[in-house]
Structure 1
């Protein structure tokens, strides 16, 4: 079956992709290395990072190099990784503190009784519905992560418990799902 497309894009070899950058005024100091980069980072990803170096006519500003664009790509990538590491530390700390405080105040399973800790200005039926949905989600998580040592250990040592303790739940549950309560 032939597909008829009116798109003007066509396949370009890595060499042709690099030449497209060069034809728009981009400097390439090491062609072999640039071709290697194009094999691992898509043309459009590099083009996306190169737009900062373009003038209004769509050409690259004077002395714009392929290497500078690649350097910006990796700077951005590394910056995102650092943000991710920092946000993970913050998330771990917040999860731990929430679990600790709920555990201190309500015990291992007190978090299951929404009416004792959630926004009491909400209608009672709404709270009960949210609590029921939440409990179902916990049971799904317990099945989904049944091979996880945190859950497996709890189930083995507490075979009569239907739900996880707050401390174990905090390790497997995404807190953005809870925050709305």
Structure 2
């Protein structure tokens, strides 16, 4: 098999060569080479370099500003890791709650296995012209096979001939599929669920899509700091000013706050976020996560549900 490519890959560099390149080519200050070596042994520079976006010279995009050190970039990586860890826990709580709300609505109205009947949904088509409901069901069947060793899956296979009630089925569905189920639910069913969050179906759908994106970023330890997001959650009038040209994470915080009705879960989460940002306040650029200067006051203020 030919390995010829139009642009040859860069040669591999030893850690020592990486340090030399960072100093000479990229103008990155290395305070202590021993500690730099330990950093590069922990986190490869390809991952670290993403945290250098926005820290280069205006006149030369290859060179870092004179005040930027490898330790600075590594601490941004550490901040992002802790920031994501704070967020994943609260998103997990909302995800579990959404699974509960959707399974309860469908089971009470259509019965334990009503979710398998496309007539209980709006039969939308995806971009490929295939039924969204059918795609969700195919994905669910694949998850059943993939998770065949789980005790509750074994139980339903052995005792119920492979039939799963919706409250068990949702535990095998991806958060993306849960969002797709909500999208194809009948209007009155969507309203029933969105009323729990004091919002409209359209708002809730956009919030779920945003949470799915954040959840996937956090679960796969991808970068969230200074990362433009694809999903733009709908915001209410009083919060529209917090949107930016590049969609960053702050609007999702406003959504989480509203979905939790500013309860004790939200207060606990906010304490964790304040602690994490305070720990790294000397290096974190708030605008890179979409946070306005008065973000604490905004997130601590009571939520209006008018």
Same fold by TM-score greater than 0.5: yes
Please point out which of 119, 122, 136 is paired with 2:122: 119
Structure 1: how far apart are the matches of 2:8 and 2:133? 51
Structure 1 residue 130, shift from structure 2 partner: 5.9
- Stretches of structure 1 lacking an aligned partner (at least 5 in a row): 124-128
* Residue of structure 1 equivalent to 2:39: 37
Q: Find the counterpart in structure 1 of residue 18 from structure 2.
A: 17
Please identify which structure carries the higher helix content.
Answer: 1
Instruction: Tell me the CA shift for residue 148 of structure 1.
Output: 1.3
Matches within 5 A, 1:155-170: 155-159=157-161, 162-170=162-170
Unaligned segments of structure 2, at least 5 residues: 126-130, 185-306
Residues 1:85 and 2:89 aligned together: yes
User: Is 1:53 aligned with 2:55?
Assistant: yes
3-state DSSP class of the match of 2:115?
A: helix
Indicate the RMSD between aligned Cα atoms, in angstroms: 3.0
Residues of 2 paired with 1:144 and 1:22: CA distance?
A: 48
**Alignment-derived partner of residue 101 in structure 1:** 105
CA shift digits 1:86-128 (9 cap, x unpaired) = 3222211101111112112222122222313x127x69xxxxx
Q: CA–CA distance in 2 between the matches of 1:2 and 1:166?
A: 50
Asked whether the 8 Å contact 2:144–2:153 carries over to 1, the reply is yes
| Secondary structure, aligned partner of 1:10 | coil
**In 2, Cα distance between equivalents of 1:172 and 1:158:** 16
Cα distance in 1 for partners of 2:91, 2:77 equals 21
Distance 1:132 1:54 in 2: 48
Picking from 133, 142, 145, the partner of 1:143 is: 145
Total equivalences in the alignment: 172
Q: TM-score under structure 2 normalisation?
A: 0.49
CA distance in 1, matches of 2:31, 2:76: 16
Contact 1:26 1:66 in 2 (8 A): yes
Once the two structures are TM-superposed, the CA of residue 64 in structure 1 deviates from its matched residue by 1.3
The structure having more radius of gyration, on CA atoms, is 1
| Match of residue 126 from structure 1 | none
Alpha-carbon distance, 1:11 to partner? 2.9
State the TM-score, normalized to the length of structure 1.
0.77
SS of structure 2 residue aligned to 1:45: helix
